[in-house]
Structures are given as structure tokens and as C-alpha cells.
Amino acid sequence: MNKIRVLIILPCFNEEQSIGSILQQLKNIKVPNCEFTALPVNDGSTDNTITEIKKHSSTYVDLPKNLGIGGAVQSGLKYAHKNNFDMAVQMDGDGQHPPLELIKIISPILNNETDVCIGSRFIDKEGFQSSFLRRVGINFLSGLIKLRCGQTVLDCTSGYRAFNKKAIEECVKYYPKKYPEPESALYLIKKGIRVKEIPVIMEARDGGTSSISGLRGIYYMLKVSLAILFLRTK
């Protein structure tokens, strides 16, 4: 039987402190009948991220400039599509997403229960839960998504996700560029893609800085709220 080929996409912006350790841990992930390939995507980092990547992986994407998380993830999804991978997994390069939790995320897709599986912090409420203000913002965005499509996505900002071939093909056509997780969840649901959440445990980031702290957090909420409210899928 042919093995199921899984591409693990790791968008990285200034993650020199954590990406090497993550790539090493991923080499130890074993799932029966699955073959894993890690694809770090260096999103125009200004530190030594690309040097660390090259120490641990011969397969990577080095973007010539910063595209933002959405552009980096879509670059990986395009790579998965072009190279005929059966599944793609998005996980952060900053240490928030323990590699072993990946097994939980791909299982519903392997069992054909869903097309996209999102790892959620807020189902069992274990592990790192983010700050109070961020949880308030996530709940607000989750409510907007339910208003638009009737489906609840509790951890709509989670970047720990798995996609099957059908979902990969849809994301190659369109994927939000800047802060894509909430908008892409809504987009895929509206396109008839099955989206499911499963509980995972996340950790605080190992290093680097968040792209949505301070005033950027206010900009993020405004931009994503408007994107959700006015998203068109036809």
C-alpha cells in the first residue's frame, strides 16, 4: 500500500530560537502508513532563521520578502499541491504547537471525518490558553463566523491545522494574506469544505514576538472583523 504523504508547513518569521528544535522533533513523529516531510517557509526573516533551517532541513522555502502568515502558508499549500501531497499540516515555527499533537490533528482526516481539522485550545481547556483579552477577541470573531455560516469554530485563530487534498486545492485558489485563520475557516465552510475542531494542548511561544501585540491587536480585530462580515465566496 502506498504511504499517505503529509507535508508539514512551518511559516517562520524570526524564529531562530525555536525552529531547529521543532524540526528535530518532527523527525521523530511516526504514524503507520504516513510519510512526513517538513517544509519550513522562511518569511523574509531578519535574524538567523534561514541559517537554522538549513542546519536541520534540505527541504525549505526561502521567500525573498515578507508576505505575512497567509502568504507563507499559501506558499506551502501550493508546494503541497504541485508535489501531489495527500495532506498538509500547518503549524507555527515558534514552539506553540507541540509536534506530537500533530497526530491528533491528522487522525480525523485519515478517517475521512473532515476535510480540514483545526487544533483547538478551548474544547478541553488544557495547556496554554492565551491572555484574557485575546480570548475575548477570539470569542467575538467566533461569534461573527457563526453569524455568517451557522457553524461554531471555537478556536478560530488557531494556526494548527490539517488539510486534505480537496481543501488544499481550494486554498491554492484563494487564501487570505495577512491574518488568515478566522477568514479562511469561514471561507472554506462557505465553499462546502468540512471543517472540524479537535482538542489539542498548546504551549507559550519559545521566542520571537507576536505580530498582533499592542496597537496591532486593535488593527487585527478591525481588519478581520470586516473581512468576516464582507467575505464573498461567489
Q: Alpha-carbon distance 33 to 17, whole Å? A: 32
Tell me phi and psi for residue 5, to 5 degrees. Answer: -90, 120
The string of pLDDT tens digits covering residues 199-228 is 999 998 655 555 555 567 788 899 999 999
Domain segments of the chain: what residues?
4-230
Q: What is the mean pLDDT of residues 188-205?
A: 94
The string of pLDDT tens digits covering residues 40-70 is 999 999 999 999 999 999 999 999 999 999 9
- What per-residue confidence (pLDDT) applies to 30? 94
Average pLDDT, the chain: 93
- What per-residue confidence (pLDDT) applies to 70? 95
pLDDT at 132 over 90: no
In terms of CATH, what superfamily is 4-230? Spore Coat Polysaccharide Biosynthesis Protein SpsA; Chain A (3.90.550.10)
- What per-residue confidence (pLDDT) applies to 76? 98
Instruction: Give CA angle at 99 (95, 104), nearest 5°.
Output: 130
Q: In 17-41, which positions are buried (b, 16+ CB within 10 angstroms) versus exposed (e)?
A: bbbbebbeebeebeeeebebbbbbb
